[in-house]
Amino acid sequence: MANVPVKVDPDLNIIKEIQEVGGETLKKCYQCATCATVCPLSSDEAPFPRKQMILAQWGFKDKLLNDPAVWLCHQCGDCSKYCPRGANPGDVLGALRLLVIREAVPFKFLYTFYNKSWGILVLPIIALFFIFLAMVATFHGMPNLFDMHSFPYGGPEYDLVIFHLPARVLMIDVVFVPLAAFVVIILASAISRMWNNYLDTYDIPQAYRYGMCTILGKYLVPALKEIMAHTRFTKCDANSWRAAPHKMLIYAFIILAITTAIVFVMADILGFHTPWNPILHPVKWLGNIGGILLLFGVFSIKAGRTKAEAEKSVTTSYPDNFLIYLILVIGLTGFGIEIIRNIPAIQNITSIVYLAHLVAVFILFLGVLYSKFAHLAFRTTAIVFDLYYKDVLKKMNS
């Protein structure tokens, strides 16, 4: 049977797009396959990063954006360290992940704010706009931002059905409950499309396309166990140091999420609203442990990246630095509120530190969709698919 010619319709603009978001070295690759050979995470079923380097150079945008292997790369730097041409495949795949994020979510102007340096001037304005609206509405006007007894620990109190809420608690609910709902809805839609695209890209037979409940029940828990243990990170050689601080950050966010949930129940539902003493209150202990892990993780990542950059095994892009420093601001302002409000000489700036903390948390929340922080959801989805696909292959070959 004669071979049927296949029309190729490359999008060469993808090369420029990759180079603009951190993959400047893409064209240096001359396909020697050293990267895929040395990568400890690459598998026979989903080899990378050589395949992705070829697709990128040839302009196969759709294939790249719908390839879960882009997320299976942890940018450990082994491939970049041993690349004879300095093509830095790890950095190229990091850039590809940013492009996947951009294409996966609506309101792409927000993606631009997170991934262009000038966006740092815009994002706080967006956060302050919504926070100030909620502040004026719940405090019945603009409170004195140089008096913590005016803001956040002052203002009117509200009786809503069975809930008794002070102004600061209602203000936080007005801002962050709709924001969280927005993030969850957009993220769920993006993950659903991503999963369906993976199924089509890998030509999964209909008989093996299980329902989402089956997928979550069978593959999500093993994926989460793998993520919690950071087993893929520990296989890396060039930058094996990354496993510990990244694990600390995951634990920190889990602890802080649990703390936030407890505070929500105690403050919004049970009515415990007074500022809790960080020394005496067990919820504060839990939050402080999470905060310490957060700061330890982010300082360790920054120090490790500085060393790795000197060794030319990792390149830190603006989106990397943005997330690192944003998390650092959240940690420092969180502890700052506790410390400053208990020092009479500087109590007056408690409100400003509190406001800065809210702004940073707002930006991080929204960044679950538009910043490198989106790795949290999209990489988890890719790892779940990887476990599922390997299982499907075994069943099809048995």
pLDDT in tens, 225-253: 988 888 877 777 777 778 888 899 999 99
pLDDT band of residue 1 (cuts 50, 70, 90) is: very low
Give the tens place of pLDDT for each residue, 141-182: 999 999 999 999 999 988 877 778 889 989 999 999 999 999
The pTM is what? 0.90
Are 42 and 89 spatial neighbours (Cβ–Cβ below 8 Å)? no
- Strand segments (E) across the chain: 157-160, 163-166
Distance, CA of 18 to CA of 11 (rounded, Å): 12
Dihedral-angle region of residue 205 (phi above 0 means left; psi in -120 to 50 means alpha; beta otherwise): beta
Bond preceding residue 49 cis, omega within 30 of 0: yes
Q: Is residue 285 pLDDT above 80, yes or no?
A: yes
Are 105 and 117 spatial neighbours (Cβ–Cβ below 8 Å)? no
Give the tens place of pLDDT for each residue, 338-382: 899 889 999 999 999 999 999 999 999 999 999 999 999 999 999
Q: Is residue 39 pLDDT above 50, yes or no?
A: yes
Query: For the residues 121-150, what does the mean pLDDT come to?
Result: 96
Dihedral-angle region of residue 343 (phi above 0 means left; psi in -120 to 50 means alpha; beta otherwise): beta
* Residues whose CB falls within 8 Å of the CB of residue 81, separated by 6 or more in sequence, listed in order: 237, 238, 311, 312, 313
CA–chain centroid gap for 188, Å, is: 15
Q: Is residue 384 pLDDT above 90, yes or no?
A: yes
| Structural domains of the chain, ranges and CATH numbers in brackets | 13-104 (1.10.1060.10), 108-397 (no CATH)
What is the per-residue DSSP string for 347-368?
Answer: GGGHHHHHHHHHHHHHHHHHHH
Distance, CA of 156 to CA of 150 (rounded, Å): 10
Q: Is residue 82 pLDDT above 90, yes or no?
A: no
* Residues whose CB falls within 8 Å of the CB of residue 229, separated by 6 or more in sequence, listed in order: none
